[in-house]
Structure 1
Amino acid sequence: MPLKITVIGTGYLGATHAAAMAELGFEVLGLDVVPEKIEMLTRGEVPMYEPGLEELLRKHVAGIEGSSGRLRFTMDFAEVAEFGDVHFVCVNTPQKHGEYACDMSYVDSAFGALAPHLKPGALVVGKSTVPVGSAERLAGLLPEGVELAWNPEFLREGFAVDDTLHPDRIVVGVRGERAEKLLREVYATPVAEGTPFVVTDYPTAELVKTSANSFLATKISFINAMAEVCEAAGGDVAKLAEAIGYDDRIGHKFLRAGIGFGGGCLPKDIRAFMARAGELGADQALTFLREIDSVNMRRRGAMVEMAREALGGGAFLGKRVAVLGAAFKPDSDDVRDSPALNVAGQIHLQGGQVTVYDPKGMENARRLFPTLGYADSALEAVRGADVVLHLTEWREFRELDPAELGAVAAERVILDGRNALDPVVWREAGWTYRAMGRPSA
């Protein structure tokens, strides 16, 4: 009998995982406690923008014409327990209000609701990013005869579907051979394609995700710290990054200086990691992450000051500022802890007339920052602007026509907060181009 799979929590991670499991050929039942989410997914619609996800969902959701019918959704934990052999827990683990630590209430609640209904022989698999030591504790909440495994996710927003179907590695923290065997069965297709399958214990599996995110955050903040030095010394951080990136021990990825990282993962994950290390008495091991966080947050203020300087160094009052970008990264509508919106909000609070445009993040941005101005296109955002800020690295922005924008802007001044535009092209069109950590001419 082929395995039946359930997915508890159908947010960004869960919806993607459920659709991907159906694509791999499994019968899948997804669960959420939010009725609106279940209704949307049942119609084959996703509650967030993620390239390729809605198409994948529609290919498998039962009741949609031409679908495989392998994917259904419910709000009933008893139905999930009865249906599934392997239960993936994919609920959110946000930062606790007012502290660095991770809020485990959603995970605890999911385990608490599922456990009483589970039948012996079931396997529960945690995918949420949790503090090390959580799996050990959660295993104790499960009834006898039910195993727990920890299988961290490594999804990149904008590439989540591909990352689930063709992962660069699969990590499983297990206690016994049966759990490993079941997970090898679940992931047989990517493993056959050559994806490494790493088997480890609970704590190591939990640490892999937070370690990876801490390393990436370190790399981003490193190049941003170098940008600060370049600004002081008159160097060019883009050329510096190019030169050091040719060293294959370093590589070019994540070496683009700018306004730093944001989103729902990196900031909260490195803070939760620091908090957990403190609880374990290993806080000194991660003190460097505090500086990584500090460098990252400093870049947002630096962009605000760069904008002030571009406007003559005085107040923002009465100045028109166009902001290209609201999402924390391209190919996503996620505005959680978005550096772009943070900069826009700071300038607005200081009296600037800010108009924002983003290809996908407008609705979420409006919800979070209703007092900012919003435009339906880059051209409309730039109309009458005294300065233009490029803050999210969308392809659409890289392909803009500087001459067309220049015709509607009040002043041809562009600040590239992502070091992603071509300075030569913009300068040739009569723009003053400035980017963080680079010479002004």
Structure 2
Amino acid sequence: MTTTTRDISDETLAPRGRDKIEWAERAMPVLAAIRERFSRDRPLAGVRVAACLHVTAETAALVRTLRAGGADVRLCASNPLSTQDDVAASLAVHDGVAVFARAGEDRPTYFAHLAAALSHRPQLVMDDGADLATLVHTRHPALGDAIVGGTEETTSGVTRLRAMARDGALRYPVIAVNDAVAKHMFDNRYGTGQSTIDGILRATNRLLAGACFVVCGYGWCGRGLAARAAGMGARVVVTEVDPLRALEATMDGYQVLPIARAAAIGDVFCTVAGNRGVIGGPEFALMKDGAVVANAGHFDVELDLAALAALAPQRRRIRPALDEFVRPDGRRIYLLAEGRLVNLAAAEGHPAAVMDLSFADQALAVEFVLASGRELAADVHALPRALDEEVARLKLRALGVEIDVLSREQRDYLAGWRAGT
């Protein structure tokens, strides 16, 4: 494994990155409150952390919080196109963090950076997509003995880790931060909804009003995206495989169609399903001239890019995050951000205010795992409800919002059964 302490694009970008981090931190009061306590109590003192996350200004705020708690953090990118080079430079230069991330890095570099993040034998692993966990279990199994636990930020990663747990392969406990209410109900819905629309608009500068916008998948991310697209005046079509989610989308007022029918009428397509091959060759073949295709799921496998290239072999880049694929009959399909996370590869990701909740959950999850030691089984665990509620209370306090408190009689009523009607 590598012993280098950083691999970033350009150290001279550090001042610009610091400005960006400071701007993000102004909208993250919950994480600031946790950082203040961490600085005082030092609950992570001496703990080696390997973090594979999107290297953005919001992530920098999380890393700075962990370091305030005493952690020795090594950071790499969880997506080759999501790194903000100025933020990476600032973390390395101003905060002394071992950062291994470059915007646009190729596949070998990406995996070299994963290995570099693991090179100090971490005691805790923070993942966004489970790439570090996968690497530990497939290529560096000896590291598993030193790892006390981990956290996972995204739906795709939780799915991977649960599969590992079912197979009996998972070597250490992992907190599914993605499943925490303060994370998925806000980050996935409001964050993904806004940032995905932002990425699509930055990449295309297209008008969404009046367009047919196809949302593939109606989980929390899909719900948020559909709502924001409808708010922009688009006619939203939802595709689903889950009957309950399809029914919910119908009751929410959207047209629900199989992807084979939606492919022929859509103007803009965005996958948020967390599965592979959501849009494949048959669907690309049905698309009208000028169709725009994007992905907001964690992995680019949601789009069958090989099938697209075979169907439309003529390709050219006409905008920074927009590639034109031309079919032999002249019909064009426009792919955004090379099929990777459009909200991060073509924009800046989620707003800091919503990442404040997600990364507060992350920070508390790290503290919880370390405090639990080896008591947790090697499985995927929920973040304790009390910690989730603590994050929500801190956010409400920062917003100046007050809520009611149950009386003793109300608590007794909810806890009992003898009162009847």
User: TM-score, length-normalised on structure 2?
Assistant: 0.36
Structure with the bigger percentage of helix:
2
User: TM-score, length-normalised on structure 1?
Assistant: 0.34
Larger Rg belongs to: 1
